[in-house]
Structure 1
């Protein structure tokens, strides 16, 4: 399917031109009219001043009026403005540049955390005269996701930033469109569907065989790459009935000392697809961070265009073949889900609109691949950092399942420690560390500081909430909040601290709660069981590219002890991948 060739920058300038032309033309007309009435000629000098000054003056007037308007609205609601960051340059441009630069080298979320130490858990990251309210306050997150759900939408700003990648899929839509996608998707993620483990087992065995081959070579393995291939192959077969076979090619070597001799094939095409998706997700993240003026950074071309061309070339033939099959097949009840029916089959029964099918398929595929791959990568990293926890988890696996048998849904349900390990992993490293909404109407939030007025949230403002930072707050989780300790999910700390369920949100909450939550728990548990049935120990590679810079060790908290660099585009991932020196084969 062809995509628009007009760059976002050109479209943005075209729209913005009207905002320049209107005040300029109006000013010229007014000056000319006044001059005619007074009988004075209009000098070129005066006309130049009017033309050059109209737009800046209009912008300054807009900013002044907006500030006054917000204060008055807040006063009417007996509220106060959200504390704002204070930079030295106009529009807090220095803060914006500094934040973008620090995100590249600092620990994940550190620039925001530093501002919150001064301003509190809810602040206004106002840059280029545009408000971005950022919060890690559970009560505010609860308001956004549940109690005032309809007042917080994905919104036009995020939708524009993500449209070239996510289209109108469930993660980039609101209102009736969102309900339509949600209704289409929900029936497929039933208990009967998510507890079928044959697909997981087939691809887990292939991934483990590759890991064993690398271990026998006494070479490091890029685990993030391996697990991403596993989740891509599993998700594609589960959703499409069409495996991408990304595990069929030789794995890359983390240190690049050896090169693959495999000929290019379907697995390489899948790897190119996965890389293209990752690059497109990076573009979405960059656009959201820059804000409303992001199209100005893409004047000459859409930064996602080339990547989405690769995605289209991969997905389109799969979807077209499925549509062709269904055009000649007998129609079934759209509400009936048969045993061998895939997610794609289910969608095609409900609509023949190619774009709707494609957008929703890609949205669910990314969710099924990225979230699970992110969490499993973080889990293996933490287990390698804590061999005593790995040993204890293996003991539970061996006692419940043994060393060879495929785990069942019932096995996983009974295994308390593996769930504690996964919960603790998702607490420290949630797959979706930051998420975005847009307020529809003016409203207020309760103050995080007792005795102070509520906080005013203007309609149209972008709201960002970070479960990554919220999950690490010591006032919410206790003084050991930065430590990896699965026992906090099994001992008295669970009742002491987790009294508010909105302090732990790896799968979101409210009407937009992740439909694939149980699917993800099952897949992650299954893969961890299979890995630890085959390997008794895991060690991190000292590969310099993976390790954080030495100066991180001088900082506070987890930054001082981390042995990889957590980053995010839409999802959390390990920069320069996650290399393991060995899996000790049993």
Structure 2
């Protein structure tokens, strides 16, 4: 069956909206001419026919605003203030932010100008932005059933994520299917982390011995990709074996085999697909016009499926042998999530979509956490020293950490929490109302009314940096805020201002897996290396205007260029240097 490209398909869906009003006006005028013998000039007929749809659009817009105001008043609420910009300028700002802006900076600007809540329209869909913890609480918990991913978001992400866990409403099926593989017993099996951490650090050691810096973000992306595929699918993709790239001034030394390695082809397609999909979210429902003749994500998804395909096919083949009696497997004996998925469905599309979605979680979120952890260590040697002291005290200078030891490492957990606070892997997230909703307000302000089908954006990154919520030192990196009286003063009374991995009360299934993985890697890193520093000559610098236009903010002091698609990452990589730690030494 022939499938229309995004632009023509979207345009075809628009045609009735244009044709019906114009046809109705034209036929009405013709009837008036014939029945009442009116002499209506042809120019008026043509103008009325052409302008019928724009007039109806304006009329509908004002009627909708009037109706929403009445509904808000009836509920003892108000509408959020409206952003005073044209729709095209808003779309431009949102898409430019994905390409080159600081994560959450567009909505942060609105926060300063209009207050903690705003609304705007992207032609055919209304958007609401909030920086209020109580609203996040309503979206993620108390009014959870009133919010979905929504057809708009699902449509924007369909080419990349399909029907996977991050792109589906009614996620009970997905969560029930995956939950058994994130029990304490399973996520506390650290052999996978141990092996892959040592392999990745060996690559770093080799590159440093050659006198070059290396891309830590790339290194930990390989560690997390190999660990995730081995844990979830039962077989590593061995991306670490591809090696790591040389810095730009020595990129001629990077062999072609590195670029051709299947894991690198996958990662490149994966990253490009996420950027293109994120750009769609800034364009609203009319994103198909930007990809009129071709869905730009589909070929990238095909490259990704070519990478995961062999893993899926092997699992399906094994399942067929089990069903035919060639292999005997006892009930509940599945050792991997993939084997469990295949037991529940043999639909190739569902399986492919789930694999890609799980790799978003398994690779990108922990990669983000570890990359920004190194970034903070490079700027705070006193924190590095304190972390290493705790590691040596609880684990030792060479041993691998156990689950019990990790629970005792309070400062290490506080450090990771502080990284997550300032650099959350998903800095901005959204849900869509499936019915009219009234959100609570504080400080005597009236509640906020949201009509059905409103896209609700909550900017976690900005909420985590509000001085009125975190205190006057909110922009300072300080892990102790999770250990001293500030926990009770700021976090405990307002738990929704801190949602690690954007989990909220519906705990992210892989949350503890990610904490364990990141903690384990930090332990091995700090047991073997010290003297962390940034190679500022190789790192892509942030835009110059950040330093001059945003004084007094984290943005003005950044030495890197953070960006965000579905998750946050560092543009151009995190190129770093470090020194080997002498055995048993706390510092070099």
C-alpha distance in structure 2 between counterparts of 1:386 and 1:356, whole Å: 45
- Write out per-residue CA displacement over residues 464-511 of structure 1, whole angstroms, 9 at most, x where no aligned residue: 011111111111111111111111111111121112211100233456
C-alpha distance in structure 2 between counterparts of 1:324 and 1:105, whole Å: 44
Once the two structures are TM-superposed, the CA of residue 99 in structure 1 deviates from its matched residue by: 4.4
Greater shift, 112-121 or 158-167, is seen at 112-121
- Which residue does 2:558 correspond to in 1? 562
Greater shift, 36-45 or 19-28, is seen at 36-45
1:70-469 equivalence runs, <5 A:
70-87=68-85, 91-101=86-96, 104-128=99-123, 130-175=125-170, 178-260=171-253, 262=255, 264=257, 268-329=261-322, 337-338=332-333, 341-448=335-442, 450-469=443-462
C-alpha distance in structure 2 between counterparts of 1:336 and 1:532, whole Å: 42
- Which residue does 1:35 correspond to in 2? 33
C-alpha distance in structure 2 between counterparts of 1:505 and 1:287, whole Å: 25
- Which residue does 2:496 correspond to in 1? 502
Once the two structures are TM-superposed, the CA of residue 551 in structure 1 deviates from its matched residue by: 3.0
Distance change (3 Å), C-alpha of 1:99 and 1:348: closer
Structure 1: any 5+ residue segments left out of the alignment? none
Match status 1:19 vs 2:17: yes
Once the two structures are TM-superposed, the CA of residue 259 in structure 1 deviates from its matched residue by: 2.8
C-alpha distance in structure 2 between counterparts of 1:309 and 1:577, whole Å: 25
Once the two structures are TM-superposed, the CA of residue 40 in structure 1 deviates from its matched residue by: 4.4
Counting matched residue pairs gives: 577
Output the TM-score relative to the length of structure 2: 0.94
Once the two structures are TM-superposed, the CA of residue 235 in structure 1 deviates from its matched residue by: 0.5
C-alpha distance in structure 1 between counterparts of 2:196 and 2:2, whole Å: 37
Distance change (3 Å), C-alpha of 1:157 and 1:323: same
Q: Is the partner of 2:250 in helix, strand or coil?
A: coil
- Write out per-residue CA displacement over residues 333-376 of structure 1, whole angstroms, 9 at most, x where no aligned residue: 999543x7111001111111222222122211211111100100
C-alpha distance in structure 2 between counterparts of 1:8 and 1:386, whole Å: 48
Structure 2: any 5+ residue segments left out of the alignment? 583-588
Distance change (3 Å), C-alpha of 1:334 and 1:182: farther
C-alpha distance in structure 2 between counterparts of 1:337 and 1:376, whole Å: 34
Are 1:252 and 1:259, in contact at CA under 8 Å, matched by a contact in 2? no
Distance change (3 Å), C-alpha of 1:41 and 1:312: farther
C-alpha distance in structure 1 between counterparts of 2:329 and 2:432, whole Å: 34
Greater shift, 436-445 or 353-362, is seen at 353-362
C-alpha distance in structure 2 between counterparts of 1:147 and 1:234, whole Å: 35
C-alpha distance in structure 2 between counterparts of 1:92 and 1:265, whole Å: 44
Are 2:134 and 2:441, in contact at CA under 8 Å, matched by a contact in 1? no
Q: Is the partner of 1:404 in helix, strand or coil?
A: coil
- Write out per-residue CA displacement over residues 23-48 of structure 1, whole angstroms, 9 at most, x where no aligned residue: 11112221122212113477543432
Distance change (3 Å), C-alpha of 1:115 and 1:140: same
C-alpha distance in structure 2 between counterparts of 1:287 and 1:22, whole Å: 28
Are 2:308 and 2:355, in contact at CA under 8 Å, matched by a contact in 1? no
Q: Is the partner of 2:243 in helix, strand or coil?
A: coil
C-alpha distance in structure 1 between counterparts of 2:562 and 2:311, whole Å: 33
Across the aligned residues of Structure 1 and Structure 2, the Cα RMSD in angstroms comes to: 2.2
Q: Is the partner of 2:285 in helix, strand or coil?
A: coil
C-alpha distance in structure 2 between counterparts of 1:490 and 1:119, whole Å: 34
Output the TM-score relative to the length of structure 1: 0.94
Greater shift, 38-47 or 463-472, is seen at 38-47
- Which residue does 2:585 correspond to in 1? none
